[in-house]
Amino acid sequence: MSFQKIHCIALNGLEVFANHGYYPEEQLIGGKFKVDVKVETDFSSAAITDDLGATLNYESLFEIVSEEMKTPSKLLEHVGQRIVDRIALISVKIQRIEVKIEKLNPPFAAKIQSSSIGITYLKPNHAI
C-alpha cells in the first residue's frame, strides 16, 4: 500500500483587533477578528534534518496576517485575498492555502457569534 504525504502548517484562532467594515463607523471603531491559515507544502526535508530553512516559518505566516489585518478594508474578501497572495509568494513548494477570517460579534440587530469569509488557493495542476 502506498501513501501520499500531505504536510500542513497552520495558525489557528489568531485573534486580532482591526478596523475592517463596509460602514465608516466600523472602520473607525474597529472590532475583533479571528483568522485561521492552513498551508499545505512539502517539508519532508525539515522533518528529517530539523532545519527551519527547509520549511515555512510560522512567524512568516503570522507577520503576513498581522500586517494585512492592520490595513483597513471595507471587505474581508479583500483582506483575505491579500493574505493568500502574499503567502503564495513565500515558496514554490506551497500546494494549497486556506484562509478563514471571522468577524466576531458583527453589528447586527441580533446576537451572532461571527460572520466569515473563506478562500482556498490551489496551485495550478494540483489535484485535490
Separation of alpha carbons 88 and 73, rounded Å: 21
pLDDT for 81: 98
Does residue 127 surpass a pLDDT of 70?
Answer: no
Among residues 56, 65, 53, 118, the alpha carbon closest in space to that of 93 is found at 56
* pTM, entire model: 0.89
Compute how many other C-beta atoms are within 10 angstroms of the C-beta atom of residue 122.
13
Contact 90, 60 (CB under 8 A): yes
pLDDT for 101: 98
Compute how many other C-beta atoms are within 10 angstroms of the C-beta atom of residue 17.
11
